[in-house]
Structure 1
């Protein structure tokens, strides 16, 4: 089949490939509770998923004294590391990635996770060799800054105009816009379909199989 639009497909991790949204929300809330701070509701906690951890804590508890943010990060990591071994990929992710690789696409990850966190997740999911490049928030600017996509395309020798960013948050789609890349939203993760639609993505998928089907037909 002739290549249609894209050469490089970049995926967000949490809430896009890994079914981790509810766990992240619970851990953010537990971290705030540990420190006697206002506990964000589910929507507030979910909204910051995809940002770098420090940026996420600042966004979910605006106005907090700066001295508390490192403690929030530490408590979040404590809770997350007690739960992350139980996380699983969304149904269909392995098949989708294998099919896209077989078709010759470059595959990458752009995530708000730290490098240690992403490597831990990739190893647990047995996907260490599935991607041509990855970029994490502690290596460059956090989403929605375009740096992750700029660096990934440069590393792989690709063109941003033939690059597709796929994610479950407005941060992912805004990063794609800022970089001059195309974007697809998935609304089975952190942000709702109307929130994603406001950024005018090429498509919004309700499941990984639906995303896989769209990519097979259109990418």
Structure 2
């Protein structure tokens, strides 16, 4: 007997959740700051802003930089990231997990701090584009932890918050889910220390993609 689904829509963050990109993004933020002669954020501080939209992330990473120079810092970050982005890979087991969820007829979405251009590129390069039914990026809607991008995904499919699950590696992802009235699951192998997840009451914290898949197949 097939167990009824608890969630109709499962939305994923991208970087640090599906793609093993946390360390590269942090290095690119640090290199961009270094290029402009700014204080270089620590590894932890650079990783903390992952998941935010680019402008918000760089503002937090370089708080002393005047607003009129934010575009300059963003351009330096993009230059470093684009030069290395095609070296990034999925976390092991990600493709198998997504196929298993599609076989159960969940709608799959992406809610990411990436730009639309950046997400479209990586979806093409990874071949994952057909796996997702809808996607939202920070430059086309409100950035995390504002709930709008998740709310837009829910509206697109006519899904209630109670039937929606957000999966991410940062407190920004989990807070966005809470703000939208949706459940969340955290993963500990991305940008944020999983001990910081507790205030947002995730239903589960996975320490590997295989563990995440097992939980989803049993509980989602």
Q: TM-score, normalised to structure 2's length?
A: 0.98
Rounded Cα–Cα distance in structure 2 between residues aligned with 1:17 and 1:53: 19
Do residues 3 (structure 1) and 13 (structure 2) align? no
Could you list the structure 1 runs, at least 4 aligned residues long, displaced by more than 6 angstroms after superposition.
Answer: none
CA root-mean-square deviation:
0.8
User: Cα distance, 1:4 vs. partner?
Assistant: 4.0
Deviations 1:12-52 (A, max 9, x none): 00000000000000000000000001100000000000000
User: Cα distance, 1:7 vs. partner?
Assistant: 0.7
Rounded Cα–Cα distance in structure 1 between residues aligned with 2:37 and 2:65: 12
Q: TM-score, normalised to structure 1's length?
A: 0.98
Query: For residue 182 of structure 2, what is the aligned residue in structure 1?
Result: 181
Q: Which moved more, 1:56-65 or 1:70-79?
A: 56-65
User: Cα distance, 1:198 vs. partner?
Assistant: 2.9
Matches within 5 A, 1:1-219: 1-219=2-220
Rounded Cα–Cα distance in structure 2 between residues aligned with 1:215 and 1:160: 17
User: Cα distance, 1:5 vs. partner?
Assistant: 1.7
Give unmatched runs, 5+ long, in structure 2: none
User: Cα distance, 1:63 vs. partner?
Assistant: 3.6
Task: State how many pairs are aligned.
Answer: 219
Rounded Cα–Cα distance in structure 1 between residues aligned with 2:199 and 2:147: 19
